[in-house]
Amino acid sequence: MQQLVECVPNFSEGRRQEVIDAIVAAIAAVPGAQVLDVQSDADHNRTVVTFVGEPEAALEGAFQGARRAAELIDLDQHRGEHPRMGATDVIPFIPVRGVSMDDCVALARRLGQRIGDELAIPVYLYAKAASRPERESLPAIRKGQYEGIRDLIGNDPAHEPDFGPRRMGPAGATAVGARPFLIAFNVYLNTADVEIAKKIAKTMRFTSGGLRYVQAMGLLVEGQAQVSMNLTDFRQTALHTVVEMVRREAARYGALITRSELVGMLPQQALLDAACWYLQLDGFTADQVLENRLVGPP
């Protein structure tokens, strides 16, 4: 199976379509980089690009996108609702298939070095690639935004970048990191009582004693109680574990799951893991999936 990394760079431009198109084109021009999604928000004045490729293609695509963004976006002219510190604000690498988190951390470091050296943009490593515990959180790194960091970067030790110069040009600074794939997953109950969904969410979520890689809240959606969750590391806290725990909690309140939904995409492995758990397929390997045996272009 081909190795696959997802990369989701965020650019500080959500209004000028020609700029967005030029950045996306720079990424898509890299052989092996496949752009899957482009989401622009005019109020945030920000664009999120999702692309995938083998590790080297992901690295090169991210670099080319960042280079083009530095040419076309001037942070001194940028206003938007979303916090930002750079033309390319943040670049996470996400393991999808056949690559480890360590591989993605290594990619982040190599990309950070290149952006620092070749584009003279200060780079902060974040999330799993962070070089200091206080830089694991992106909001903590971005505190003060472009204008605030620009004034501190030259002297404040806390603002010393991991790569690149200790000064900011109009392209600002970029956070580069690695993180697990995030799955947005909702479960609907056969009740209109949102309090049941809220109680279940409280039991499920990490911050109130629940599962380590689960964020959860209870909502009422079109008259139906919904437990809305983010699974922040499905390899550690699996989809089936989450569903069966919601099911048990719901039963406590006399409720049942009517259906669930995945918002957006997810790696094949997340569903294979669920199928194997329920079917009790000990010894199954992903290369038993016929499609995973295919190599090369059709």
Instruction: Starting at the earlier edge strand, list the strands of the sheet with 224-231.
Output: 214-221, 224-231, 183-189, 257-263
- Please answer whether residues 125 and 108 qualify as being in contact, where contact means their C-beta atoms are separated by less than 8 angstroms: yes
CA geometry: angle at 108 spanning 166 and 61, to 5°?
Answer: 105
82 tagged catalytic: yes
How, if at all, do strands 174-178 and 123-127 pair? Answer: parallel
CB closer to a second copy out of 168 and 250? 250
CB closer to a second copy out of 108 and 266? 266
CB closer to a second copy out of 218 and 267? 267
Q: Which residues bind a second copy (CB under 8 A)?
A: 2, 4, 6, 32, 34, 36, 52-54, 57, 96-97, 187, 239-240, 243, 257-262, 264-268, 271-272, 274-276, 278-284, 288-298
CB closer to a second copy out of 42 and 256? 256
As measured in angstroms, the least distance from the Cβ of 7 to a second copy is 12
Q: DSSP letter at 287?
A: G
Say if residue 41 is exposed, middle or buried (CB neighbours under 10 Å; 0-12, 13-18, 19+): middle
CB closer to a second copy out of 17 and 288? 288
59 three-class SS:
helix
As measured in angstroms, the least distance from the Cβ of 294 to a second copy is 5
CA-to-CA distance for 250 and 257, rounded, in angstroms?
7
CA-to-CA distance for 138 and 125, rounded, in angstroms?
9
As measured in angstroms, the least distance from the Cβ of 13 to a second copy is 24
As measured in angstroms, the least distance from the Cβ of 285 to a second copy is 10
Residue at token pair 């909690």: 249
CA-to-CA distance for 245 and 242, rounded, in angstroms?
5
Query: Which residues are CB-neighbours of 259 under 8 A, at least 6 positions away?
Result: 187, 188
Active-site pick, 44, 82, 159, 240: 82
As measured in angstroms, the least distance from the Cβ of 56 to a second copy is 10
Residues annotated as catalytic are 82
